[in-house]
């Protein structure tokens, strides 16, 4: 093992307790999204840690006058740390919102505890632990570079954003649209078990389908038109399409390994009627269609709408409305991109194993950066099985390994920039 890596390991071990203490603090702030709460408090904590480490910090509030949203004020935190006079080199993009807790927890989701070298709490895996660790990377790099006499030239930026769990438009989308980040490379520390690099992700369409029948008292049901029953008929037709959709398999390997199929979820959200003794006059349900890189978003949408149009033609006694709430194209960078090689070399040096570039079965904020020509991947500590799950947790050893490897990536990048 190189002297540089040994020194990185030593310094990370020395400060790791401080990193964990700050992770505990940020998990204790329940930034649950939807609807998006406690964002201002969390952004202030992140900014304070950035300033403590030595970042130049800016906070960008998203105006409610220009964007209508529920919950707390959307705040994007951007920190910049310079080594020498070089231009931007590496950007760590993170998000501080977390999904609702749900049921099945054996502990308080927002009172994090450490048990068997694992840190438990909502957001520990996705992705508050890596968010905090990324804030310490410039401090780690500076300490080791000074000790070893390394001359580094370049910059590292960290963005901490809201709303990733609901699409990221006012987080990553906002900072990209307003040119708040310009970087050679972006790394987003999503939970990829360290061994995988998400360089590509699926696209997605979300639809809300509403059927309007005729509401009436249950005793006179023969005079009404039951919207729920009509929904059931339409769903049965859509299930036939789902079989066709889910037979498609991408040529991209994926993490998790079974995540390279097209898929369609019907009824993630649904509602019908307001009382047991009334024929429901309105019923609705959602469709979540995940789209492979080899597929086309427009074609995927058309497949669904064709089924609905056929249903409408055969059921003229009801009205059918379709609302599209989200549409995201698949995104990727070249599998041989040098950013992936930087990550692979660092992980090999620290752990001995190679990383595997794979497809993400969901969609990622990296699409915003890729769309503007800024290469981006997702790679981080934590296992996807624990993200969004009850008793969410992360192995502290994995968090430490990611911090060391990420620091090594930054040093190698800034050394190379210095030579150019």
Query: 204-327: which CATH topology?
Result: Alpha-Beta Plaits (3.30.70)
Measuring CA to CA, which residue among 30, 168, 21 is closest to residue 94? 168
Say which residues have a Cβ less than 8 Å from residue 419's Cβ, sequence separation at least 6: none
Asked if the domains at 3-201+330-419 and 204-327 fall in one CATH topology, the answer is no
Phi/psi at 89 (nearest 5 deg)?
A: -110, -55
Q: What is the pLDDT along the chain (420 residues), one digit of tens a residue?
A: 689 999 999 999 999 999 999 999 999 999 999 999 999 999 999 999 999 999 999 999 999 999 999 999 999 999 999 998 877 699 999 999 999 999 999 999 999 999 999 999 999 999 999 999 999 999 999 999 999 999 999 999 999 999 999 999 999 999 999 999 988 999 999 999 999 999 999 999 999 999 999 999 999 999 999 999 999 999 999 999 999 999 999 999 999 999 999 999 999 999 999 999 999 999 999 999 999 999 999 999 999 999 999 999 999 999 999 999 999 999 999 999 999 999 999 999 999 999 999 999 999 999 999 999 999 999 999 999 999 999 999 999 999 999 999 999 999 999 876 544
Cα dist from 143 to 83, 137, 146, 365, 402, whole Å: 12, 10, 5, 31, 18
**151 alpha carbon, distance to own chain's centre:** 34
Identify the bridge partners of residue 186 per DSSP, sorted by sequence position.
91, 376
> What are the φ and ψ backbone dihedral angles of 51, each rounded to 5 degrees?
-65, -40
Q: Determine the CATH number of domain 3-201+330-419.
A: 3.40.630.10
125, 383 Cβ separation under 8 angstroms: yes
CA angle 189, 357, 262 (to 5 degrees): 95
The pTM of the full predicted model, rounded to 2 decimals, is 0.93
- Tokens 């950007």 belong to residue: 91
* Residue boundaries of the structural domains of the chain: 3-201+330-419, 204-327
């Amino acid at each position: 093992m190189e002297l540089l890596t040994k020194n990185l390991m030593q310094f990370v071990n020395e400060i790791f307790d401080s990193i964990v203490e700050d992770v505990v603090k940020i998990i204790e702030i329940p930034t649950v999204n939807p609807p998006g709460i406690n964002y201002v408090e969390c952004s202030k904590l992140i900014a304070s840690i950035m300033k403590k480490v030595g970042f130049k910090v800016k906070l960008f509030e998203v105006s409610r006058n220009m964007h209508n949203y529920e919950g707390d004020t959307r705040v994007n935190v951007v920190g910049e740390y310079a080594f020498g006079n070089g231009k931007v080199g590496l950007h760590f993009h993170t998000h501080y919102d977390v999904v609702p807790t749900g049921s099945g927890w054996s502990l308080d989701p927002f009172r994090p505890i450490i048990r068997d070298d694992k840190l438990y709490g909502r957001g520990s895996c996705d992705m508050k632990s890596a968010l905090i660790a990324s804030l310490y990377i410039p401090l780690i790099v500076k300490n080791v570079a000074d000790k070893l006499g390394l001359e580094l030239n370049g910059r590292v930026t960290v963005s901490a954003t809201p709303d990733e769990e609901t699409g990221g438009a006012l987080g990553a989308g906002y900072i990209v649209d307003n040119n708040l980040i310009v970087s050679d490379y972006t790394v987003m520390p999503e939970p990829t078990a360290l061994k995988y690099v998400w360089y590509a992700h699926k696209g997605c369409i979300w639809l809300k389908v509403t059927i309007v029948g005729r509401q009436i008292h249950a005793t006179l049901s023969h005079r009404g038109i039951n919207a729920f029953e009509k929904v059931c008929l339409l769903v049965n037709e859509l299930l036939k399409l789902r079989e066709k959709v889910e037979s498609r398999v991408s040529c991209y390997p994926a993490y998790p390994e079974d995540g390279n199929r097209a898929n369609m979820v019907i009824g993630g959200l649904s509602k019908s009627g307001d009382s047991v003794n009334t024929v429901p006059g309105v019923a609705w349900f959602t469709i979540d269609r995940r789209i492979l890189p080899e597929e086309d978003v427009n074609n995927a949408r058309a497949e669904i709408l064709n089924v609905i149009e056929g249903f409408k033609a055969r059921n003229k006694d009801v009205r059918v409305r379709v609302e599209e709430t989200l549409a995201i194209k698949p995104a990727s960078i070249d599998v041989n991109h040098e950013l992936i090689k930087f990550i692979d070399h660092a992980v090999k040096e620290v752990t001995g194993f190679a990383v595997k570039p794979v497809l993400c079965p969901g969609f990622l904020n990296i699409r915003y950066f890729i769309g503007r020509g800024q290469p981006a991947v997702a790679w981080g500590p934590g296992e996807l099985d624990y993200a969004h799950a009850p008793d969410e947790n992360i192995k502290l050893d994995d968090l430490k390994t990611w911090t060391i490897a990420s620091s090594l990536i930054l040093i190698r990048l800034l050394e190379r920039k210095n030579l150019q």
